[in-house]
Amino acid sequence: VNKFRIPLLTLAAFVGVAGFYIIHKKEIESPKKTQHAASSSFTNQKETLSNQTSEEFVTTSSGLQYRILNEGSGDDSPGPESVVSVHYRGKLTNGLEFDSSYKRNQPASFPVNGVIRGWTEALQLMKEGDKWELIIPPDLGYGSKGAGNIIPPDSTLIFEVELIEIK
């Protein structure tokens, strides 16, 4: 009986180690698949945007993209503390419109530094009367938190913004 004890213990240990390895290998591979899925989703979002972006768009050092739809006649740009009045339309990269001051027939007024970073940056580059299309990456928008049930986490946002007045 003793001569079978060591081989049986060795076999049991081997089976235990092999089982542990197989179980943990699946756990280790799962995050890679999740990362790949997230990466794939981001890649698809980038591909969608690359179809929209062209030479007309300017990309700032932060990653904000904009193109001028209509050039206004104003000479001044707002500062970070300025209060502005704007008309805007916001949508996701899949085309879903999530907000529009045009639909409410009421421009929005707010301090330039009181909105998402992409807007704050863009508004300070705009002149009164300008109408721009913005492509705002997640880190300049709502980031990993998203916004309510409407804007998912890590969403790239597309806005049409018309700077009506610097107050």
Catalytically annotated residues = 88, 98-99, 116, 142, 159
**Which residues, 6+ apart, have CB-to-CB distance to 118 below 8 Å?**
62, 64, 134, 136, 137, 140, 141, 157, 159
Closest CA to 124 of 164, 86, 157, 76: 76
Q: Which amino acid is at 150?
A: I
**Cα dihedral sign for 140, 120, 123, 102?**
positive
Residues 102 and 139 sit within 8 Å (Cβ to Cβ): no
Distance CA(91)–CA(100), nearest Å, equals 9
